[in-house]
A and B are shown apart, each in its own frame.
Chain A
Amino acid sequence: MPAPMVHPVLKNGVGAFIPQCRRLVFHYCERSGSSRGMIEYLKKDLIQFAKEHPHVEVIVTPRPSKHPVIRGLYLNGKDKVVCVRNMEPTDIAGKVALLKESAGNRMKVFKKPVISTTESVRGIWSPFHAAPHKI
């Protein structure tokens, strides 16, 4: 009988941690006023950011007559786009950090405090293995 078609599942961080953000693309316009903060960020802070995060590929491209935009691309193939029109460089740095730390998944509400594939250490209670209630 051939082996069953199963694959070992990734547990990011258990062995090695693979940062999920692979690329950040910065779009700006040379002329429009909404890109003023973005251009200042590109000149002042971006190179330092790129130095500190060598696993992220950083691309800067002009996009004339449009608002400045940052697009983050992730290892799951998805992307997140954030418009940073009329923002100051500090705010833009905040958005960049948000994109860098994200994993590309949609924002969703986690209703449980812990999500795990391993069972609890003490085991799940079973009526067949627990002693019956005694008064």
Chain B
Amino acid sequence: MAGLLRSPLVLARNTLRASAVRACPPALTRTYRIDVKPTKKIAAQDNEKAQISQPSTTLDSKYRIERPSAAVVAFAHRLGLNQLKDQTLLMRIVTHPSYEKVGIATNERLDYLGAKVLDMFVLEYLHTKYPKMPTKMLHDAVSTYTKSSTLALMAKEFGVEDVARWIRSKPELEHQLAFNTVKASVVRATVGALYVDQGPIKAREFIHAHFLSRELDLVQLLEIEEPKLYLSFLMKRLGRERPVARLVAETGRLSKAPVFIVGVYSGTEKIGEGFGSSLKMAEFRANKDALTKYYLEEQKDFGLPSDVEVQGAVYTPTKVGDTPVVV
């Protein structure tokens, strides 16, 4: 047997005869699998040097090797986990610690490891991309990508719901286990398994492809109660002229629906613009816009610190941005 990973075809044999139809309801009397090897093209994409002679999932010999079920194999191919050298990790990833059966390995360790790896690579990317982002906002941004509720949503999109193995409640537990917790643990364990099996760069690729490609408007995470005050302090620190708000355009001032466009200027340079139905509202938005443009300045074409792990890549460190203004 070359490997455990197949695309299984489950065939149920019908053993009923005509006379027996009325006697008993139609039922699957026996199921057996036909293991279907993926085509050469897909097998070539898999890691050809996969060797599963010994169970390297665990050092303890009490854990039995489980063949991945059909759903788990499909799940693996969907996420690119077919490249894992140790295919016995698959059943481990989807098994929550609540699923306590004799000799079954669970995902607790991989979950913890994956959580740290995920935090690390998401933080590294956001820190390098937004050097001037306030630290609290950076913390919020990282946690938005890595928190359990996000991972539970992602798990549903990965198809974890029909592969996760868990037990909802036990007599000794005070409260029932939530499915979202289990789903999030499976996603983290996936990251952990990739890291352990394939190394940090493959884990980073997975995180960039599945987590950081998702759309998140970071502006809503920037919370500043008094933008005018913060902006004036910021301009002072930068050694630039103090910000002045000017009316750029307006319409319908005395009507039911006025619109004011206010621009914030540092000298002759417009640093922010805002609209509103009152002058105060427009000025507030303009100041907020100016702060957003400064703190959320994006770097383009940047290298990440973990590029040193990539063979042949040259990493030039980017300058660390200033801390946000202290008021």
Contact = CB atoms under 8 A, between A and B. Distances in A.
Decide whether A and B are members of one complex: yes
Interface of A: 1, 3-11, 14-16, 18-19, 22-23, 30-31, 46-47, 50-65, 75, 77, 117, 128-129
Contacts, number: 132
A9 to B, nearest CB: 5
Contacts of A53: 7
The B interface, classified by DSSP as helix, strand, loop or mixed, is mixed
A8 B150 contact: yes
B9, B71, B73, B249: residue with the most chain A Cβ atoms closer than 10 Å: B9
A105 to B, nearest CB: 14
B12 A62 contact: yes
Contacts of B220: 4, 6
A19 B140 CA distance: 30
Contacts of B80: 16
B39 A60 contact: no
A50 B251 CA distance: 64
B214 A56 contact: no
A11 B214 contact: yes
Interface stretch (B110-118, B156-164, B169-177): B156-164
Contact of B210 (A3, A4, A15, A59): A15
Contact of B77 (A6, A7, A54): A54
A7 B145 CA distance: 7
B42 interface: yes
Contacts of A31: 18
Contacts of A62: 12-14, 26
24 contacts: A1-B223, A3-B143, A6-B220, A7-B144, A7-B150, A8-B145, A9-B215, A11-B214, A15-B208, A15-B212, A16-B210, A47-B9, A51-B36, A52-B42, A54-B73, A54-B77, A55-B78, A57-B71, A57-B74, A58-B8, A64-B26, A75-B158, A128-B249, A128-B261
Nearest to B37: A51
Contacts of B16: 64
Given A15-B209, A60-B11, A8 B216 contact: yes
